[in-house]
Structure 1
Amino acid sequence: MNTNYLAEVKTRKTFAIISHPDAGKTTLTEKLLLFGGAIREAGTVKGRKNSKHALSDWMEIEKQRGISVTSSVMEFNYSGYHINILDTPGHEDFSEDTYRTLTAADSATMLIDVAKGVEAQTIKLFKVCRLRRIPIFTFINKLDRQGKEPFELMEELEDVLGIRSYPMNWPIGMGQDFCGVYDRHNHKLELYNPNNPNDIDVKDVSGPDDPLIDELINDEALVNQFREELELLDVAGDQYDKDKIDLGELTPIFFGSAISNFGVQTFLEHFLTMAPSPTPRNSSQGIIDPLEQEQFSGFIFKIQANMNPAHRDRIAFLRITSGTFERGINVNHVRLGKSIKLSQPTQFLAQNRSIIETAYAGDIIGLFDPGTFRIGDSLVEKDTFEFDEMPHFSPEHFAAITVKEALKHKSFEKGIHQLTEEGAIQLFQTYNKVIEQQIIGVVGVLQFEVLEHRLKSEYKVDIRLERLPFSFARWIVGDEKDMDTFKRMQRNLVTDRDGRIVALFENEFQMRTAQDKYPNLKFYENSYIKA
């Protein structure tokens, strides 16, 4: 095994940041980029009148709404490590994009608002991380505001998420009384200056009983409380266990304030020493371990149209799972069964990108996509194995879609096709109807708004959406005779982009009735069925 290759792979850290909306995820991402020198100043999603916006929120609708609606990829170097951050949408209506993005991550950082604790979307995203058994690092944010007590938050992690925790540092005070944090491993005291949060004074101390702490924090009650809490933590808390962290059974906790830039660098430096390098992936040929295989392989986990509106281009995001990528490499496109040349690879800072010559296992690269790729495609050098399927979800909201101006029909079809390929929406065609109708299915209703906005801004097309009463879609597979009967008798049938029969149901009762009536047919919830 090439020693240079192994050294490059071991410096890679690829992780996703997950949270409920408004927990401060985009702010944390940008502060991490600041430390890496990737940007000179952080944007802000606060206040629509402000001309600055979060770098990772690059879509116009994201800037207007102050939320992330699509995953962003950002890469930078820090302290000898090559870091790939996957910043995911926190809003539940875009959870499918987040779920797929998590398949490209080797670990996750879970961001929690100190005042709100574990919230609904955090629970959903955590479950996906738990299923993948990846390490989860917790950053408890907004300590400069009043919130829940640290022990209460730890208890919440265990009761709600079922994961034990180990605080790497411990706060002294909170809100107006917030004085700083104590690093349990390195015996350092980081002092918080409310008048200038960027002015972080770090002091070496012998331990929590060091008299220097009393001198630096002139509040006897607060210091006594801090020492009592640490003593309780040492006696009753979980012990640091790297094996449990690696298995996702124990989460290291860091306290800080992303907006104030307090605790972020400490988190980053601990994280880089603890988080895994690129991890193995399952394939049709078994486990593909980047530390044992130098042959290039990777999979497409995201497709994004119009990242550069001036060029109307489309980019496929590829996670390299093994080997070295060289610009111009020839690979097997396994689904299509043909060899293709990858000649325009890019790396990212949100929508900003630059051509690269070389990349390694763990890296995320962008490939120019003329319509060749689909989410889940495997690209392999000198082989034909495929990686495990991407997670897909059945739409829960449906609408009939038409274009307002007939002259814009060509642009409309192009836009719908490209946005369908991204995986944010699913397009259906009515089956056995005198008047054909196109139907859009989405996981979250906010996706309708994003669809309407993007068609107008990126393709200059105005549309009409007529909401339909369906809540379930099921892909129907079975014996040809039974299928013929089903297609004649069943109402509300559509076909997907590959011509497969899909039944739409208004409620679970309707769906169960159909399943009972046609016991020889299979009703698949998954929106992607391999042939």
Structure 2
Amino acid sequence: MSAVETRDGVDNLRVLDEALKRRTIAVISHPDAGKSTLTEALLLHAHAIGQAGATHGKAGRRATVSDWMTMEKERGISISSAAIQFTHRDTIINLVDTPGHADFSEDTYRVLAAVDAAVMLVDAAKGLESQTMKLFEVCKRRGIPLITMINKWDRPGGDALALMDEIEKRTGLFPTPLTWPVGESGDFRGLVDCDSGQFVRFHRTAGGATIASEETVPAEDATAIAGPAWQTAVEETGLLREEGHRHDESLFLSAASTPVLFGAAALNIGVRQLLDTLVDLAPSAEARADTSGVRRAVNSAFSGFVFKVQSGMDSNHRDRVAFVRVCSGVFERGMTVTHEPSGRPFATKYAQQMFGKDRETVDMAWPGDIVGLINASALRPGDTLFTGGPVVYPPMPRFQPEHFRAVRSTDSSKHKQFRKGIEQLDHEGVIQVLHSDRRGDQTPILAAVGPMQFEVAAERMANEYRAPIAFDALPYTVACLIDAETAKVLAKHSSIEVTMASDGRMIALFANEWKLRTLRREHPELTLDSVSAE
């Protein structure tokens, strides 16, 4: 095929050019490191919004663009991923804000399947926390390049050099600072631009609601402004350079090194530098491997995969949005694609671009873009869509559930709504739904990674489906995949419950690991596999 031939009616060169303009990014961190605040700050600096959500403390905090669910606004945490597209320096950035609470790790893992790079946000005072490390391991396994942002330098915290050592020792990534703080944490004077050696000085605004103006000061004039803090910063950056801490694009793209920046997202300091780094260093949309390992070129016929399904984003309509990452070719609204799992045609009449909860109709999208397909009831997370030659992208990961509760409707007249709502939550991957012969269809079992998932399920059932629910605690903490022969054996054990998932998997529930180990020892012939899949 020549360079001027077309795929889906669009010039191949146009597809390649549009793909080069895209950056599809996730932000990962431990809860309360400032992910949603950083998202707002990035949008503010890209002039996508006029005022950031962070104002004078939590009591006066406006809801952020990416946190739109009622629980998110009330608790000040992210519990659903939100896709936002904006432009900076003629580059289109698709930013996916991920859930901040560990109970919603499964949603975050799905998002990481859809991005080309990630920003690892680190609290200056706390360093690399447990959830950050869990998500880092996912990025590492998938070879996702990471840009590190040390946040909250305006507050008392750790030592900058010590943080570099921690990053290198705990992640194995070689840190290469692009900016360096002038002043210790809690006494933030500005930044050293490690490339030019100049001093970047900031002028804060009230509550960080608007962009903090900045000026670049020549190195020879910086001492008069910042005093000994400048000299310390110069000495530290000089030491790092002598030790080889310089950015190497090939090492970064191979996920062997991580560029590091410092800032304070709540004050909008250091945010422009991060935006520029995303444009200059983050990879654009590239060929993706299918399940057979073959990489599908971005200028092939259209293909994409569903990484999230979300209901309730529009309070006026009970619609359902399937978030699709475009992997190759061009998406055109109204085109008919093939739904790989069923082999059936799927019409894309209602396609929209997301800006948090807000949306607008999109007519075309390119590799790297995220498209919301409305009322796509047939689509599930992990489904592949394509035109032309068939393709199947790797499935979404599943997590090992550790919490189990029987769920029942508290209003017998709402059985139809109850059943529909539970099926929908399962369909979206909000929570795993299991059915057991012991309980019947009236009382399914909900399986969760963390207990807050039950709260989300209850809130959505009450508000979206008008079917309030109640939970009964179950004495299980471990689940295993089993086959039909194993199920026959386990059915004889009253302390073990055999269930069926909606996708046909048979899952056995155990009280604890000891019970499972005992069974494996006594019956080595049985099939007892992990529920999780990466």
Please indicate, yes or no, whether the TM-score normalized by the shorter chain is above 0.5: yes
Q: Please list, as runs of the form range in 1=range in 2, the aligned pairs for 1:228-247 lying within 5 A after superposition.
A: 228-247=235-254
> Any conservation in 1 of the 2:212–2:267 contact (CA below 8 Å)?
no
Q: 1:212 aligns with which of 189, 214, 221?
A: 221
Going from structure 1 to structure 2, the CA distance change for 1:414 and 1:229 (only over 3 Å counts) comes to same
Corresponding position of 1:76 = 86
**What is the one-letter code of the residue matched to 1:352?**
D
2:214 is aligned with 1:201 = yes
Corresponding position: 1:526 with 2:494 = no
Gap change, CA 1:425 and 1:144, over 3 Å in 2 = same
1:266 corresponds in structure 2 to 273
Q: How many residues align?
A: 520
Identity of aligned residues (%): 38
The equivalent position to 1:53 in structure 2, one of 58, 63, 67, is 63
SS of residue paired to 1:301: strand
Stretch moving more, 410-419 or 297-306: 410-419
Pairwise CA distance, 1:262: 0.8
Comparing 279-288 with 96-105, greater Cα deviation is found at: 279-288
> In structure 2, what is the equivalent of residue 484 of structure 1?
488
Shift of the 505–45 alpha-carbon distance from structure 1 to 2, 3 Å rule, reads farther
Q: 1:502 aligns with which of 490, 502, 507?
A: 507
What is the distance in 2 between the residues matched to 1:43 and 1:282? 38
The AA in structure 1 aligned to 2:366 is Y
After TM superposition, give the deviation of residue 240 of structure 1 in Å: 2.0
What SS does structure 1 have at the residue aligned with 2:327?
strand
Query: In the alignment, does 2:470 pair up with 1:460?
Result: no
1:85-484 equivalences in 2 (<5 Å):
85-193=95-203, 198-203=211-216, 205=218, 210-217=219-226, 219=227, 221-291=228-298, 293-432=299-438, 437-477=443-483, 480=485, 483-484=487-488
Q: Check the 8 A contact 2:84/2:356 in 1, yes or no.
A: yes
Distance 1:211 1:37, change over 3 A: closer
Distance 1:109 1:431, change over 3 A: same
What code does the residue aligned with 2:268 have? N
Give, as a single letter, the amino acid of the residue that structure 1 aligns with 2:488. D
Contact 1:483 1:521 in 2 (8 A): no
Residue 519 of structure 2 corresponds to 514
Checking the alignment, whether the CA contact within 8 Å between 2:194 and 2:237 is kept in structure 1 is no
Query: Quick one: which amino acid aligns to residue 397 of structure 1?
Result: H
Structure 1 match to 2:498: 493
- TM-superposition CA deviations, 1:289-320 (whole Å, max 9, x none): 444x4210011110101111211100111111
Gaps of 5+ in 1: none
Aligned counterparts of 1:282 and 1:302: Cα–Cα separation in 2: 19
Shift, 1:331, TM fit: 1.2
Separation in 2 of the partners of 1:433 and 1:449?
22
Aligned partner letter, 2:300: E
Q: Please, what TM-score do these two structures have when normalized by structure 2? A: 0.93
In the alignment, is the contact (CA less than 8 A) between 1:178 and 1:192 conserved in 2?
Answer: no
Partner AA of 2:361 in structure 1: I
CA spacing shift, 1:223–1:36, aligned 2, 3 Å: closer
Preserved contact between residue 159 and residue 185 of structure 2 (Cα < 8 Å): no
- Which amino acid in structure 2 is aligned with residue 265 of structure 1? R
3-state SS in 1 of match to 2:136: helix
Query: By how many angstroms is 1:199 displaced?
Result: 4.4
Q: Under a length normalisation based on structure 1, what TM-score does the superposition of the two structures give?
A: 0.93
Task: Return 267-276 or 362-371, whichever deviates more.
Answer: 362-371
* Partner of residue 39, structure 1: 49
Kindly provide the CA deviation profile for residues 430-474 of structure 1, in whole angstroms up to 9, marking residues without a partner as x.
Answer: 125689631110001111111111211222222111121211111
Q: Structure 1 CA distance, aligned partners of 2:44 and 2:204?
A: 20
- Cα distance in 2 for residues equivalent to 1:255 and 1:151: 12
CA RMSD of aligned residues (A): 2.1
The Cα offsets for residues 391-424 of structure 1, whole Å up to 9 and x where unpaired, read as 1112110011111110112111111111111112
Q: Distance in 1 between matches of 2:442 and 2:333?
A: 45
Q: Work out whether residues 382 and 395 of structure 2, in 8 Å CA contact, stay in contact via their aligned partners in 1.
A: yes
Tell me the distance in 1 between the aligned counterparts of 2:504 and 2:480: 14
Corresponding residue SS for 1:192: strand
Contact 2:86 2:93 in 1 (8 A): yes
Task: Tell me the SS of whatever aligns to 1:104.
Answer: coil
Could you list the per-position Cα deviations for residues 482-526 of structure 1 after superposition, in whole angstroms to 9, with x for gaps in the alignment? Answer: 553444556311111134321001111111222334433322323
- 1:72–1:350 CA contact under 8 A, matched in 2: yes
Is the 1:288–1:322 Cα contact (8 Å) retained in structure 2? no
**Which stretches in structure 2 are left out of the alignment for 5+ residues?**
4-11
Q: Residue by residue, what CA displacement relative to the aligned partner does 1:26-78 show, whole Å, maximum 9, x if unpaired? A: 11101111222222211238766537211100001110111000111000112
Q: Distance in 2 between matches of 1:382 and 1:270?
A: 36
Distance 1:429 1:36, change over 3 A: same
1:299 alignment partner, SS class? strand
Q: CA deviation at 1:226?
A: 1.9
Distance in 1 between the 2:257 and 2:483 partners? Answer: 42
Displacement of 1:21: 1.1
Change (3 A) 1:140 1:232: same
Residue 67 of structure 1 corresponds to 77
Q: Secondary structure at the match of 1:286?
A: coil
What are the within-5 Å matches in structure 2 for residues 17-32 of structure 1? 17-32=27-42
Distance 1:193 1:204, change over 3 A: closer
Q: Distance in 2 between matches of 1:379 and 1:412?
A: 30
- In the alignment, is the contact (CA less than 8 A) between 2:192 and 2:233 conserved in 1? no
Q: In structure 2, do the counterparts of structure 1 residues 50 and 415 end up closer, same or farther at CA, with 3 Å as the change threshold? A: farther
Alpha-carbon distance between aligned partners in 2 of 1:468 and 1:276, rounded to the nearest angstrom: 46
Summarize the Cα distance change of 1:67–1:518 in structure 2 as closer, same or farther, 3 Å threshold. Answer: same
